[in-house]
Amino acid sequence: MTSLLDELRGLSSVACDTLDADVAARFGPFVDCTSNQAIAYAELSKVDVNGKLVYQPLIYESIEVAHWMFGKQSDATLEELGVELMMVGLSLGIASHTTGCLHVQTNPKLAYSTSKTIKNAERIHSHFSHLSPSLPPSRICIKIPATYEGILACRELEKRGITTLATTLFSLEQAVLAADAGCRYVAPYVNELKVHFEPGYVDPNRANSLLLCGLIQEYFSRLGIQRGSPIKTEVMAASFTSVEEVMQLAGIRNLTVSPGLLEVLAATKVEGWMGATVGLAERFVADQLDVDRVGRIERLVREGDEAGWRMAFTRCEEGASEGRLVQALNIFADVQDRLEEVVRRGVSQGA
């Protein structure tokens, strides 16, 4: 039988949005593996039939390495180092089930500091090299929240040979800036992050967000034509809540899909499926891209007009796009705090 997951893989590059190696093995191989603080915390919180933490060895090992590193540098706290190492360790568990990049997100509490985000990203990158020397650096991608400061950090990191993804992206303003910065990927969210944490909540802007993914891909395509060759930056659509949403974006260059949706996609036959089978390529109308607006954003970016870009982003959808970014940063920062508490508990237990 041909499943929806098979069909999707024929139209888009599919990444797994999980740090569960069993899921990656069951439905893989995948191209990339994406993650964030919330995904890492959920995985690290899993317990076995005896109520013991499944990943307790990884937690203790990460703390041990963090202690060793803490005495050699002063850019991060012991808790921050422990969190970074745990996230990298989880990602490495999925490496054999992927052919592309392992994505780890920087500390969201640093999202408004370019210099601190750069240091954070370089540390994460070095953790991969320390824990898995044989992993090619080209397979490491650092996810960075798409604030103005975060995207400036992406620009510098790309110059230094570190692959980046601009995440929590909700507007053309962010996408244009990220493309100019040379990010490898941008991750527009189909749903605001709140939908994954508040049962019953539905993103009222979901339809526009689906369209935004297509608009960004269309923009990147046109930009490549203008430059005479394809541009480096690609769309990695994220934050899906239904199979229908995923299949509506079949044809987007890259999508990252959570375990629950992967299971439904793999179990559903293409034949007879009554959902939205028409992919983006057939339903997207290219003339919906507002070229005048894009031109204004490009001019602000080209001229380095930070204040102008910030105001354009603030006014996008009457502030709704910026509001979704702030919401996501708040949620991720809360989970970062919980992850740091995991490290503190481990330390208190003698790790």
Averaged pLDDT for residues 8-27: 97
- State how far the alpha carbon of 270 is from the alpha carbons of 7, 14, 84, 281, 314, in Å: 7, 17, 40, 18, 42
What is the C-alpha separation between 236 and 101, in angstroms, rounded?
12
* Cis amide linkage into residue 108, ω under 30° from 0: no
Find residue 83's DSSP bridge partners: none
DSSP helix/strand/coil, 238: strand
pLDDT in tens, 302-338: 999 999 999 999 999 999 999 999 999 999 999 999 9
Q: What residues have CB less than 8 Å from 186, skipping those under 6 apart?
A: 146, 165, 166, 167, 169, 174, 175, 178, 179, 216, 233, 234, 235, 236
Q: Each residue of 253-278: pLDDT tens digit?
A: 999 999 999 999 999 999 878 665 55
Sheet holding 185-188, edge to edge: 13-16, 254-257, 234-237, 185-188, 163-169, 140-145, 102-105
pLDDT score, position 275: 67
- Determine contact, residues 147/166, Cβ cutoff 8 Å: no
- Model confidence band, residue 1 (pLDDT cutoffs 50, 70, 90): confident
Please enumerate in sequence order all residues whose Cβ is within 8 A of that of 277, keeping only pairs 6 or more positions apart, or say none: 247, 270
**What pLDDT shows up at residue 70?**
87
Question: DSSP assignment, residue 116?
Answer: H
Q: Quick one: angle between helices 172-181 and 148-159, nearest 10? A: 20
User: Both tokens of residue 277?
Assistant: 């089978």
Its domain, for residue 10, covers 4-348
Tens digits of per-residue pLDDT, 212-239? 999 999 999 999 999 999 999 999 999 9
What is the three-class DSSP state of 340? helix
Quick check: helix, strand or coil at residue 113?
Answer: coil
Q: Is 143 in the active site?
A: yes
Domain count across the chain = 1
Neighbours of 186 (CB within 10 A): 31
Catalytic residue among 72, 116, 143, 159, which?
143
List beta partners, residue 288. Answer: none
**Size of the chain, expressed as the number of residues it contains:** 351
User: Helix or strand or coil: residue 219?
Assistant: helix
> Using CB atoms within 10 A of its CB, is residue 266 exposed (0-12), middle (13-18) or buried (19+)?
middle
Query: Mean pLDDT for the chain?
Result: 94
Beta-bridged to residue 3, according to DSSP, are 269
* Domain containing residue 80: CATH number: 3.20.20.70
